[in-house]
Amino acid sequence: MRFQDRVVFVTGGASGLGAAAARRFAAEGARVVIADIDTEGATRVAAELPDAVAVTVDTGDASSVEQGVAEAVQRYGRIDVIFNNAGIDGKQQPLHEMDLDNWERVRRINGDGVFHVLKYGIEAMLHGGGGAIVNTSSTTALAAQENISPYTFTKAGIVGLTRSAAVEYAARGIRINAVAPTVVMTPLVERFIENAPDPAQMRREMESFNPKPGIPTPEDIAGVVAFLASDDAAWITGHTVPIDGGYVAR
Ligand code: NAD
Distance 189 CA to ligand 1 centre (A): 9
Distance 249 CA to ligand 1 centre (A): 25
Contact (CB, 8 A) for 124 and 79? yes
Protein residue with least CA distance to atom 3, ligand 1: 16
CATH class of segment(s) 7-181+218-242? alpha beta
CA distance 227 to 193: 30
Written as tens digits, the pLDDT of the chain (250 aa) is 999 999 999 999 999 999 999 999 999 999 999 999 999 999 999 999 999 999 999 999 999 999 999 999 999 999 999 999 999 999 999 999 999 999 999 999 999 999 999 999 999 999 999 999 999 999 999 999 899 999 999 999 999 999 999 999 999 999 999 999 999 999 988 898 898 899 999 888 888 889 999 899 999 999 999 999 999 999 999 999 999 999 999 9
Distance 188 CA to ligand 1 centre (A): 6
Distance 86 CA to ligand 1 centre (A): 5
* β 7-11/31-36 pair status: parallel
Q: What is the pLDDT of residues 171-180, one digit of tens each?
A: 999 999 999 9
Protein residue with least CA distance to atom 44, ligand 1: 138
> Which protein residues are within 6 Å of ligand 1, measured from CB?
11-12, 14-18, 36-38, 41, 57-60, 85-88, 109, 113, 136, 138, 181, 183-184, 186-189
**Residue extents of the structural domains in the chain:** 7-181+218-242, 184-215
User: What atom of ligand 1 comes closest to residue 38's alpha carbon?
Assistant: 11
- Which residue out of 15, 24, 195 has the highest number of ligand 1 atoms within 8 Å of its CB and is therefore the one to mutate? 15
ipTM > 0.90 (yes/no):
yes
Contact (CB, 8 A) for 95 and 147? no
- Which residue out of 17, 108, 151, 154 has the highest number of ligand 1 atoms within 8 Å of its CB and is therefore the one to mutate? 17
Q: Which long-range contacts (CB under 8 A, 24 or more apart) does 144-150 make?
A: 146/94, 147/92, 147/93, 147/94, 148/89, 148/90, 148/92, 149/95, 149/98, 150/90, 150/98, 150/102, 150/103, 150/106, 150/107, 150/110
Q: What is the pLDDT of residues 209-228, one digit of tens each?
A: 899 998 999 999 999 999 99
Q: Using alpha carbons only, give the angle 40, 41, 47 rounded to the nearest 5 degrees.
A: 90
Mark whether 151 is an active-site residue: yes
Protein residue with least CA distance to atom 6, ligand 1: 12
* β 81-84/131-136 pair status: parallel
